[in-house]
Amino acid sequence: MHISVIGTGYVGLVTGACFAEFGLSVTCMDTDAQRIGKLEKGEVPFFEPGLTELVHKGIKENHLTFTSNLPKAVEDALVIFIAVGTPPRADGSADLSYVEEVGRGIAQHMKSYKVIATKSTVPVGTGERIRQVIKAHQTTPCRFDMVSNPEFLREGSAIEDFLRPNRVVIGADSDQAVAIMKDLYRPLYLIETPFVITDIASAEMIKYASNAFLATKISFINEIANLCEKVGADVQVVAKGMGLDRRIGPKFLHAGPGFGGSCFPKDLAALVQIGQESGERMEIAAKAAEVNDRQRRRMVEKIHAALGGLKGKTIGLLGLSFKPNTNDLRESPALAIAEGLIEKGAAIRAYDPEGLEEATKLLPGLQACKDAYDAAQGTDALVLMTEWNQFRNLDFVHIKQLARQPIFVDLRNVYEPDRIATLGFHYISVGRPPRGPNPAAS
């Protein structure tokens, strides 16, 4: 079967490469001809573990082709996935202009039956809206079906998430479209992946509700962490104790500097906006976003308090991406915190394995360092921002020699507090009591 994927961002490119891995014939289309030129040579425009290899394999086995020619992408395919961006507007609502533009383009070039599936996260009602756009712009009237097939992959583990998902959601109002979609995902039947077959609106809602719930879980544990600090409790143990209750589950209960990325902040804002338009206030989603903004500011205050002021201080930052294994800096708490520290007069030395170059463009005040130890040179405090694996086994004896004073702020609770304190550090984390004497206080 031949399918096309419109949009070669994270979701589009991973979808295309993984369906090619399933043995389908896939055309990935993007209006950015330069991007397509690079992809044809196997150059992936962002960092995602395993994706370059999968793209090379797809090209080599003739399962994966790239084009900037929409008519070609439309004519060849039975199923057309829309995976273009839905960036937030100033009021938080999702900007659907790219999605609608693709809808018009598909309408003008379709000459036979097609299934049009949205992979982008789109507000409830968008499937219907695209259906109307296509109907209004068709040049050759022919039948087509709309499907909502939301994607749940995470950056950094996108391929694994696509190839071994917890579930596949298919929203449609046509048996033929459901059968075709199920056929695409046939390899997943073998690993007994559950399928949720529903209407388009419910499928669209599942995506927003899932992301909002996960984001709320994080904001909830971050509030608990802040309270733990006040009452002398340890949030790691609290989260473990909670997570063992199977009704709660252990995942997304890691306290830290707050969530970032291209999805949770944007999707919470969009859900609040959808609620407003529908006359239903999404108060929990709104609060989850508010608590998240506050958490970033709290991290700046935490470092400020530990150092007794930030003016003239040098701080080393480890990790700038919003999470490990990605170079994505969108809504990264690390960048927001770095900005807050700079505003309060601190000099920043920073290192990130994949996002450093881009980060220094976004925040020219950052002093780019070549590794974690370079970032620690002459610092009043070293702060672990993003839990890349290479920061999980730091040589603290070496860091102590390099730093101006031994203060380690672990915003991802990676280390055992007593162990770092024994190595002569004042150790601060999130939701756990600090350990070791504070050299800045003496």
Catalytic residues: 263
Binding mask 384-413 for ligand UGA (x = CB under 6 A): ------------------------------
86 makes contact with ligand UGA (CB under 6 A): no
DSSP label at 389? G
User: What dihedral angle (degrees, nearest 10) is formed by the CA atoms of 248, 249, 250, 256?
Assistant: -40
254 makes contact with ligand UGA (CB under 6 A): yes
With contacts defined by CB under 6 A, name the span among 12-20, 34-42, 255-263, 343-351 that binds ligand UGA. Answer: 255-263
CA angle (241 as vertex; 238, 245 as ends), nearest 5: 135
Quote helix, strand, coil % in the chain, to nearest 5: 45, 15, 40
256 makes contact with ligand UGA (CB under 6 A): yes
319 makes contact with ligand UGA (CB under 6 A): no
Output b/e per residue, 9-39; b: 16+ Cβ within 10 A: bbbbbbbbbbbbbbebbbbbbbbeeebbeeb
In the complex with ligand UGA, the residue whose CB is nearer, 264 or 373, is: 264
Q: Which two tokens stand for residue 207?
A: 């995506």
Interface positions, 166-225, toward ligand UGA (CB under 6 A):
211, 214, 218
Out of 155, 229, 352, 354, the only residue in the binding site for ligand UGA (CB under 6 A) is 155
Q: Which residue has the tokens 């990790």?
A: 319
Out of 323, 426, 432, 435, the only residue in the binding site for ligand UGA (CB under 6 A) is 323
Least Å from the CB of residue 395 to ligand UGA: 25
Largest separation between any pair of C-alpha atoms in the chain = 79
With contacts defined by CB under 6 A, name the span among 23-31, 74-82, 145-153, 284-292 that binds ligand UGA. Answer: 145-153
Report the distance separating Cα 295 and Cα 297, nearest Å. Answer: 5
327 makes contact with ligand UGA (CB under 6 A): no
Report the distance separating Cα 137 and Cα 92, nearest Å. Answer: 28
In the complex with ligand UGA, the residue whose CB is nearer, 109 or 323, is: 323
322 makes contact with ligand UGA (CB under 6 A): yes
Give 406: exposed, middle or buried? Use CB within 10 Å, 0-12, 13-18, 19+: buried
With contacts defined by CB under 6 A, name the span among 68-76, 252-260, 283-291, 344-352 that binds ligand UGA. Answer: 252-260
259 makes contact with ligand UGA (CB under 6 A): yes
252 makes contact with ligand UGA (CB under 6 A): yes
Closest CA to 210 of 244, 178, 146, 166: 166
151 makes contact with ligand UGA (CB under 6 A): yes
Least Å from the CB of residue 309 to ligand UGA: 28
Give 105: exposed, middle or buried? Use CB within 10 Å, 0-12, 13-18, 19+: buried
In the complex with ligand UGA, the residue whose CB is nearer, 256 or 340, is: 256
DSSP 49-84: TTHHHHHHHHHHTT-EEEES-HHHHHHH-SEEEE--
Q: Which two tokens stand for residue 315?
A: 């701080």
Number of residues that bind ligand UGA (CB under 6 A): 20
Least Å from the CB of residue 267 to ligand UGA: 6
With contacts defined by CB under 6 A, name the span among 189-197, 251-259, 367-375, 402-410 that binds ligand UGA. Answer: 251-259
Report the distance separating Cα 27 and Cα 62, nearest Å. Answer: 10
121 makes contact with ligand UGA (CB under 6 A): yes
Out of 47, 152, 185, 195, the only residue in the binding site for ligand UGA (CB under 6 A) is 152
Residues that bind ligand UGA (CB under 6 A): 121, 151-155, 211, 214, 218, 252-254, 256, 259-261, 263-264, 322-323
